[in-house]
Structure 1
């Protein structure tokens, strides 16, 4: 009991000096003081509801008790009663014109999103006190969002009063980045680092600018510096290592990643990045080793797909498919896994399994255009032309500018004397995107051949043969020359084709037939 009385006396003495309270006589003033004192006690004890009641009583007895208004506004904001806070702020503005009240109201208006009113309060303070650094700081912050150019003047003014404020230089750099003043932003950050070398945010901000400029080595160095004072934060090592990978400084990246293993205690992400690093070196054995370690700690679809790819590069298709099957157990609903399983089995010439997985991929993601492409090629090679055409038509509905698909579909139909006008149109659209593509030129020539336009066909396929040395192109030239009656030229082109495919019975048969024709003359 004695303690409480003592506290009340102390608070009472303090309140006497608070702007907004006076020592006027009268019962109401006395009651107001007591309620305010009790409200402050409740606030200190975190009894918000009781404090609210006492402070509301305070302003009932004394309509000019500015300190009580401030406490109540803060309470209303914290409990979400925005309308009451707004009402009291209006009343407070009318009853108190001192600098402390203006600072308080400025902060309230910032919270309420009324930047115009906040600016008014701070500017009124600066008219009377031009060196009020709190107002300068608040205006710098507000203008950073609504008028970045103007905010720089306030940041410079604030820094003139507080030249050792690293935070001010950091916040100024944010505005400079927003205005694309990257060189100025770097200077501000370098100055901030001079003042406070162990500030993580400043180093990270400078690193981000270097990243934007694609100066990845500098970005990595800036992040690595942070490991001196943040040596347990292994994310910094990882990010720094990533930057050196992008800078193509693989030795430095490897060194940092391996250093991070001691800090991260074998974090799977570090092993993942080491796997990618050895991928860049085409060291597939090491790439597999580290990706397996990454998966053992944190299996995910991306890591399994990478592992499968690494095995493919080692010419170990069995283990590549096994990695994908492990991935399938981990995530059976991943369309990417089904797609790559389809490709894996296609590589092993197991077309039925390939079709099964490609179809499953499309069930899971009907917009996976590459699956339509490979499914269409398998159907075409199995002479299921209707199914193949359907796949390519669907693909082009999702990706109407896919030149590869347009060419494949156009050639497939032309080779079978189907829809020759449509075939020609498709192939010409593909050539419009890639006019120098030898395969597309050959396809157009083949359409002309099927239409009986032999001169046009020869011209296009000759252009194709200059760009691509391919047995199909030479065989097409041979067929055209034969139709044109140029038997020796036809034989010459068939022989060029058979050089690439010496086991081709069809080419051997064509050569034999034409040689017999020459000998019979």
Structure 2
């Protein structure tokens, strides 16, 4: 063999050796990369994310094409807040792999990252490659359910066609229809879902909500009662079911459900409170008060005391009602509502001094509570303090400009004292515009005419009022008009009608005597 031949042979041997060495080295790198990946997976299952991250980073350092490692690392970075690292890995991953699994993964990443548009694009690409990819279809249905409910319906239909036994899909499409106010379609889908998964609480609760919105309270109650049977440790379903039956006025059913709730709830005060409300609807004030008393034994709260005081008032025990409200006031001395109710209670007892104190405290705590100003005005007006009554009554009209009762009361008070007659007439006419059939307001307008000397107009208005309002004041007014017109006999007749209705009225007796002089 010549020298040139030896040289070529040597080069061939060297080349073979180098190639074999590179192959061995490459094999070692991939093998080591795979070992790191397996170790990372094990560490993830052992809930050691930091150590797992290190192993997975070593994996892609040794093998830049290790797609599974990239995927694991992306979510580890997201969980640890390394969003930029995750973004960079995703960018690399997109260039490494274009298969369906990677696109599904990227879609999940974009959803997690809040990039809805990119997520949609990835899932749409999956569907182009695989039109029956159920995972991509249901995720798109879910995304569009939030951002474009109408568009989501087509995706739900596609998914249901692929998975006709998916109760969850029927439920989720029903939620979309409910959002779009397509309740009939929603009900049918929910009923279909219940047929597939009869023990799913969320499906039944959603159906109950639709029944409630349609005021079909019995069906709503039935669904919620079924839920109570499924979840025997949650008595809230019993309470909601009982509430629905109460709205339907099926008090027997409501009572049965509330009483079933008592042992489950371990006699929770809330259940006793609802039983009190139930008997309130039956107007059985005694039983209602007994149940609310039990609720307050377990838990003191203002709402319970307010209810109980109302029941005592209905039982004509105002003193007990006031003591109950004083208990409520101890819980919250700054409750405008409780102070207001105390004021009303003391008015009932004719203790206007105490009532005034509580009403003043009420408006101090809540300057917009118009009823408190109204009752202050009536207390002052009836005690001859019209200078104090006037600003309070005007405040009521200011706060509630459509309050016909307040406008009439203020207008009548002004007219009766010959004060601001134009204002008085304007107020009363405004009240009549709101309630044109109100005989008391018509009497007030007639009284304005009387005070202005327009006796015929006054007579016409008050006679009209007397047809529907048999009130001593109305008959007294008619007597005053007839007297002013010189018709003493008619005047006496009306005064006697007034006296019949109010036998102790000394002023009317005096007017009858004056006619005979």
Question: Displacement of 1:58 after TM fit?
Answer: 4.5
In structure 2, the partner of 1:514 is 515
Measure the CA separation in 1 of the matches of 2:462 and 2:131.
82
After superposition, where does 1:88-127 map in structure 2 within 5 Å?
A: 88-127=89-128
Structure 1 spans left out of the alignment, 5+ residues: 1-21, 517-521
Rounded to whole Å, the distance in 2 between the matches of 1:194 and 1:30 is: 52
In structure 2, relative to structure 1, the CA distance for the partners of 1:395 and 1:63 (3 Å cut) is farther
Q: For 1:380 and 1:133, how far apart are their aligned partners in 2?
A: 77
Cα distance, 1:114 vs structure 2: 2.4
Q: How does 1:417-432 map to 2 (within 5 A)?
A: 417-432=418-433
1:94-141 superposed Cα distances (whole Å, 9 cap, x missing partner): 332111111111112222332222121112111121221111111111
How far has the Cα of 1:204 moved from its partner? 0.9
- Structure 1 equivalent of residue 478 of structure 2: 477
SS of residue matched to 2:106: helix
**Aligned-partner SS, 1:461:** helix
2:332 matches 1:331: yes
Deviation at 1:380, TM superposition (A): 0.7
| Bigger Cα Rg | 2
Change beyond 3 A, Cα 1:27–1:232: closer
Q: 1:503 to 1:23 in 2, by over 3 A?
A: farther
CA deviation after TM superposition for structure 1 residue 338, in Å: 0.6
Residue deviations 1:282-305 (CA, integer Å, cap 9, x gap)? 111111110100111122111111
* Distance in 1 between residues matched to 2:209 and 2:119, nearest whole Å: 32
Distance 1:398 1:66 in 2: 70
Q: How many residues align?
A: 495
Q: Which residue of structure 2 lines up, in the alignment, with residue 379 of structure 1?
A: 380
Pairwise CA distance, 1:376 = 1.0
Q: Rate the CA distance shift 1:405–1:56 in 2: closer, same or farther, 3 A.
A: farther
Residue in 1 that maps onto 2:244: 243
Pairing 1:227–2:228 present: yes
In 2, Cα distance between equivalents of 1:191 and 1:261:
33
Deviates more, 1:398-407 or 1:294-303: 398-407
- Give me the CA root mean square deviation: 2.1
Displacement of 1:504 after TM fit?
0.3
Q: CA, structure 1 residues 452+302, in 2 after alignment: closer, same or farther (shift >3 Å)? A: same
Q: Using the TM superposition, give the Cα deviation of residue 68 of structure 1 relative to its aligned residue in structure 2, in angstroms.
A: 3.0
The farther-off stretch of 247-256 and 193-202 is 193-202
Q: What's the offset of the Cα at 1:515?
A: 2.7
| 1:10-49 correspondence to structure 2 within 5 Å | 25=26, 33=34, 36-49=37-50
Q: How far apart are the structure 2 equivalents of 1:194 and 1:326?
A: 52
TM-fit CA distance, 1:65: 3.6
Deviation at 1:269, TM superposition (A): 1.1
Match of 1:461 in 2: 462
User: Displacement of 1:274 after TM fit?
Assistant: 0.8
- Other-structure match for 1:164: 165
Q: Name the counterpart of 1:51.
A: 52
> What is the alpha-carbon distance in structure 1 between the residues aligned to residue 40 and residue 168 of structure 2?
36
Mapped to 2, the partners of 1:31 and 1:352 lie a distance apart of: 93
Farther off after superposition, 294-303 or 23-32: 23-32
Structure 2 CA distance for partners of 1:86 and 1:433, relative to 1, 3 Å: farther
Q: 1:126 to 1:466 in 2, by over 3 A?
A: same
CA offsets 1:250-292 (integer angstroms, 9 cap, x no match):
0111111111112111111111111111111111111111010
For residues 424 and 462 of structure 2, what CA distance do their matches in structure 1 show?
Answer: 16
Deviations 1:188-241 (A, max 9, x none): 111111111111111111111110110001111111122332222211111111
> Which residue in the other structure is 1:8 paired with?
none
More displaced 10-residue stretch of structure 1: 157-166 or 366-375: 157-166
Structure 2 CA distance for aligned equivalents of residues 479 and 46 of structure 1: 95
2:182 is aligned to: 181
In 2, Cα distance between equivalents of 1:91 and 1:413: 86
How many angstroms does 1:323 deviate by?
Answer: 1.0
- Partners in 1 of 2:162 and 2:262 — Cα distance? 45
Alpha-carbon deviation of 1:474?
A: 1.3
Q: Distance in 2 between matches of 1:449 and 1:468?
A: 19
Q: Which structure 2 residue ranges, 5 or more long, are not aligned?
A: 1-22
Q: Please give the residue correspondences for 1:204-219 in structure 2 after superposition, counting only pairs within 5 Å.
A: 204-219=205-220
Runs of 4+ residues deviating >6 angstroms? none
TM-score normalised to structure 1 length: 0.90
Counterpart-to-counterpart distance in 1, 2:95 and 2:361: 72
